[in-house]
Amino acid sequence: MAAAGGRAAWVAALSALLLAGCSARDRGWRTTDISGIMPPLKFTLTDSKTGGVVNAHDFRGKVVLLYFGYTHCPDVCPTTLADLAAALRELGARARDVRVLFVSVDPARDSAAVLKEYAAAFGPEVIGLRGDSEELHRLTRRYRVTYGYGRPDAHGDYEVSHSSAVYVFDTRGEVRLLARPTDRPADLAHDLGRLIAEG
């Protein structure tokens, strides 16, 4: 993947933010209600912690937060994950019914070992997932997530641009909410609490 070098590999047509703007529904949710706008949770990826293959079915019964990023991102990804971790802390013991799936859009650099340590740094509910480029492509296309690789600098370091949205799925794997960087952790915690209570 990284060999693609400077060539941007844009993978989707619609931005998540555009979609969110179309949703005028509000049933007391504090983040953005996107029920029915996107397909149910479905993926096959490798869990960086166990090394085993996991799919959406393994997370039935949990409220799932799906976020795409990469570990060499020193600011935006950790800031988002820190916000999600803060929301989970507000939930207290109820956080055990939530999983944060951090899917790497940079599998070339994000080895399972790096991804595992990175995810663990944000809490036990955070799971680092990676897949080959085909699996990643399938998943990002399903949720209209965009990402692209910047030109490597003199040191071989490169940036990966990616969507900042976090998708929230209920315990049955249906898409429900879109959390954005501007959403406060307290508001996300409120909505997650409601989804947990729905069962």
Binding interface with another protein (CB under 8 A): 71-72, 74-76, 78-79, 81-83, 85-86, 113-114, 117-118, 120-123, 155, 157, 159, 161-162, 164, 181-182
What is the smallest separation between the CB atom of 164 and another protein, expressed in angstroms? 4
**CA–CA distances in Å: residue 32 to residues 14, 25, 62, 172, 189:** 17, 8, 19, 19, 13
Q: Are strands 63-69 and 98-104 parallel, antiparallel or unpaired?
A: parallel
Q: Are strands 44-47 and 166-169 parallel, antiparallel or unpaired?
A: unpaired
What is the smallest separation between the CB atom of 82 and another protein, expressed in angstroms? 4
For residue 61 the two structure tokens come to 């019964």
Looking at the Cβ atoms of 8 and 53, the one nearer to another protein is: 8
Looking at the Cβ atoms of 67 and 170, the one nearer to another protein is: 67
Looking at the Cβ atoms of 35 and 111, the one nearer to another protein is: 111
Mapping DSSP onto H, E and C, the string for 111-138 reads: CHHHHHHHHHCCCCCEEEEECCHHHHHH
Q: Give CA–CA dist 21/18, Å, rounded.
A: 5
Looking at the Cβ atoms of 41 and 85, the one nearer to another protein is: 85
What is the smallest separation between the CB atom of 79 and another protein, expressed in angstroms? 4
What is the smallest separation between the CB atom of 10 and another protein, expressed in angstroms? 15
